[in-house]
Amino acid sequence: MEDNKDIIQNNDVPERQPLDRKTVIKLNRDIGSKNQLKGWLYLAPALLLLIIFSFYPLINTFRMAFLNGYNGLAIVGGESFNLGVENFKTVIGYVDFKQCLKNTILLCVVTVPISTILALLIAVALNSIKPLQKVFQTVFFLPYVTNSIAIGMVFNAMFTRVGLGDLIQTQGIINNILGLFGIGPFNFVNVGSSWGANMFVVCTYIVWNAIPFKILVLLGGLQNVNKQYYEAAKIDGTSKVRTFFRITIPLVSPMLAYVIITSFIGGFKEYSSIVGIFGEGMGPGGNGQMNTIVGYVYNMLPKSNLGNASAASLILFAIILVVTAINGYVSKKKVHY
C-alpha cells in the first residue's frame, strides 16, 4: 500500500501553474478569437452602411467643430480655416446657449425621475389586475403611437388663452378646470408667460409623452418575473412594500436601467415637444426662452454656421456621454442581470 502511494506521488506530471484571474480571462479570450474573422465578415454589410451614414458624419462633425469659425457658405467661397477651439468658445459665450443648456438639464432632471416612477407604479398596477388589463395597456400606449408635434399642439390648446383683454373667449381647459377650484387663471403659454409656467407645461407634456414606452418596457419586465418569487415572499410573510423594493425592483432593474438611460438621452435631445407647444420660436411669442441644445443647433444651421452647430452638438454629445457613463456606473452596482 505505502509503496503504491509513493509511485503515484513521484509521477513526473508537470505541476500546473496557479492561474491568476488575468491569465484565465486571457486564455478564455484566446480560444474565442478564432471565430473573430468570421464574425467581422458577417458584420461587413452593416458596417459599410454604418461607415457611410454614421461614422463619416460623426468625424466630419468633429472636423467642423475644431475649425475656427467654420462656415458652410464661406468654404464654398474658397475660404480656409485654422484648427482651434474658437467655435466652442463662441458657443459657450452665448447667453442663448446658456439658457438652452439650463433648460435642457432642468427638463431631464425633472422629467426622467417623475416619468420613470409613474411608469413603474402604473406598470405594477397593470400587472396586478386581470380584467381589462389589455384595454388599459392599449389606452396607456396610445400617446406613443401619436405624433409628438400633434400632441404638443393639443397641449398648447389645453393651456392657451384665446382672445385678448376684454375679448377673452376662453382661458383654456386647464385654467377652466383650475377655476372650478378657485385657482388661477394662469398665463401658461401665451405671450408674456413666465419661464416657470412654460417649464411646467413642457415638463407635464414630456412626462405624459414618455410614460407609455416605459410602461411597455417595465410591464414586459414584470411579466417575465417568475411568480414563484412572489409566492415565496408571501409564504415568508414579506410585506407589500418590502416585496416591491427588495424583489420587484431588483428583478426589473435591467429594464429600469434601460428606461432611465434612454430617457436621459432622449431628454437631452428634447426639441420636438417644445416645437409642438410653442412653434419654432421655442417660447411664447417666439422669444426662445424654452430653447434647448438641439434647438440651438438647428438655429445655427440656416445661418450656415456649421462650426458653431457642430461645437454645440459635441458639447451635447459630451454631456450625454458623461451622464450615460454615470448611469452605467450606477447600474453596474445596482442592477442585477
Partner 1 sequence: MKIVLKNLSKIFPAMGKKNKDVVVAVDNLDIEIPDGKLVGLLGPSGCGKSTTLYMISGLQKPTMGQVFFGDDDVTMLEPEHRGVGLVFQNYALYPHLTVKQNIMFPLQNLKGAEKLSKEEMLRRAQEAADLVQIGDLMERKPNALSGGQQQRVAIARALAKAPRVLLLDEPLSNLDARLRLQTREEIKRIQRETGVTTVFVTHDQEEAMSISDVIVVMKKGVMQQVGEPQKVYDDPGNLFVAQFLGTPPINVFNGKISGGDLYIGDEKIMEVHAEEADRPVTVGIRPEGFIPSEDGVLSGKLRTVEVMGRDCSVVFTNESSQKPSVRAIVDSDIGARFDSTGLVRFNLKRNKVFLFEAETGERIRF
83 by DSSP, 3-state: which? strand
Minimum CB–partner distance for residue 18 and partner 1 (Å): 20
Q: For residues 167 and 235, which CB has a smaller minimum distance to partner 1 in the complex?
A: 235
DSSP state of 301: G
Distance CA 203, CA 290 (A): 11
Q: For residues 229 and 329, which CB has a smaller minimum distance to partner 1 in the complex?
A: 229
Q: For residues 72 and 250, which CB has a smaller minimum distance to partner 1 in the complex?
A: 250
Q: For residues 122 and 256, which CB has a smaller minimum distance to partner 1 in the complex?
A: 256
Cell 477651439 maps to which residue? 85
Of 181, 193, 119, 120, the C-alpha closest to 156 is 193
Angstrom CA distances, 10 to 3, 17, 151, 234, stand at 11, 18, 82, 58
Minimum CB–partner distance for residue 229 and partner 1 (Å): 6
Distance CA 135, CA 290 (A): 36
What is the DSSP secondary-structure string of 6-71? HHHHH--PPPPPPPPHHHHHHHHHHHHGGGHHHHHHHHHHHHHHHIIIIIHHHHHHHHHHTBTT--
The rounded Cα 31 to chain-centroid distance in angstroms is 37
Q: For residues 9 and 226, which CB has a smaller minimum distance to partner 1 in the complex?
A: 226
Minimum CB–partner distance for residue 80 and partner 1 (Å): 58
Instruction: Please list the residues that pair with 162 across neighbouring strands.
Output: 170
Instruction: State the residues that interact with partner 1 by CB under 8 A.
Output: 226, 228-229, 231-239, 242, 246-247, 250-251, 253, 336
Instruction: Please list the residues that pair with 170 across neighbouring strands.
Output: 162
Question: Would you say 270 and 206 are in contact if contact means Cβ atoms under 8 Å apart?
Answer: yes
Minimum CB–partner distance for residue 225 and partner 1 (Å): 10
Q: For residues 89 and 336, which CB has a smaller minimum distance to partner 1 in the complex?
A: 336
Minimum CB–partner distance for residue 237 and partner 1 (Å): 3
Minimum CB–partner distance for residue 17 and partner 1 (Å): 24
Q: Nearest 5°: phi and psi at 259? A: -65, -40
Distance CA 124, CA 263 (A): 19
Minimum CB–partner distance for residue 94 and partner 1 (Å): 47
What is the gyration radius of the CA atoms in the chain, in angstroms?
28
Question: Would you say 90 and 71 are in contact if contact means Cβ atoms under 8 Å apart?
Answer: no
Q: For residues 192 and 237, which CB has a smaller minimum distance to partner 1 in the complex?
A: 237
Q: For residues 248 and 305, which CB has a smaller minimum distance to partner 1 in the complex?
A: 248
Minimum CB–partner distance for residue 164 and partner 1 (Å): 59
Distance CA 178, CA 250 (A): 39
